[in-house]
Homo-oligomer: A and B are copies of this chain.
């Protein structure tokens, strides 16, 4: 089995084919100005030697690496996983590679990773960066080309899920079921995602004076949701809107464990529509952020930048409300 005799260089191919380096380079890159006969001979030689041009050397001379960096706050987060997957596959389809970096929710790491990964790639995609707006604005300048996911900054291409609209849809859904006392389990206080949700809630309050929405500081994971159960039950609310599906599932599990029936006694809605959402008991009503699509679109934007295409306007993907068994009419 002729495996890459590590070290075979363009010179070896040239020697074997009896031509110059440049001819090899041209032939292998499909340059039409090369004699078809020679081209064939070169390709045979290359194949015989199992030669492939060194990506590193090409990167240096061409000034591009065929690689983009993706900086993510936490690879364990299902939403980011889905984004990464959509992005990775879309990029692969365009023959680009993906360098992934996990900032572990650290703002400092995020900044550093963005800068260092950018140096070895052609562009960087920041996924839901945790940096505050001023720092983000400052950072992206030195990063270009850059694409933002779920954040925006000046003229930087952006793809976002419309959290506001999604929350509004969920609240409308609950209200239509007769719920007038709703409790919101808030996520990380300083997060942008949380701010968007509060924003939507504020708008809803203004539009519906008869509906009371109280807020309980909670968190973003299962345990946070489970821990919030007593407070939710004590609130007397007939429905609860969790920061995300993880929280909703934690809450669901905990309230059921204490005898509360869902949705008869309490309706629960989540957010994200993670794969597991349709398999809880009862299945969870939630809003789907099309995360894979978000990733694919982010790549599409990046590709435009790399090809020097004109910047398209920011994309706002509308999450889809998925009604399942965890919501029902308010108990009277």
Contacts and interface: CB of A to CB of B under 8 A. Distances in A.
Interface of A: 1, 3-4, 52, 54-57, 59-60, 65, 67, 74-76, 78, 81-82, 84-85, 88-89, 92, 97-102, 104, 117, 119-120, 138, 141-142, 222, 226, 246, 249-250, 252-253, 256, 275-276, 278-281, 283
Contacts of A256: 281
Contact of A60 (B56, B82, B253): B56
A102 B75 contact: no
A201 to B, nearest CB: 25
21 contacts: A1-B138, A54-B60, A56-B59, A56-B65, A59-B120, A60-B60, A65-B120, A67-B120, A74-B85, A75-B88, A76-B85, A76-B275, A88-B102, A92-B101, A97-B99, A97-B120, A99-B99, A246-B275, A249-B276, A252-B279, A280-B281
Max chain B CB contacts within 10 Å: which of A1, A4, A281? Answer: A281
Most chain B CB within 10 A, of A84, A89, A276, is at: A276
Contacts of A75: 81, 84-85, 88
Given A56-B60, A141-B1, A141-B3, A76 B81 contact: yes
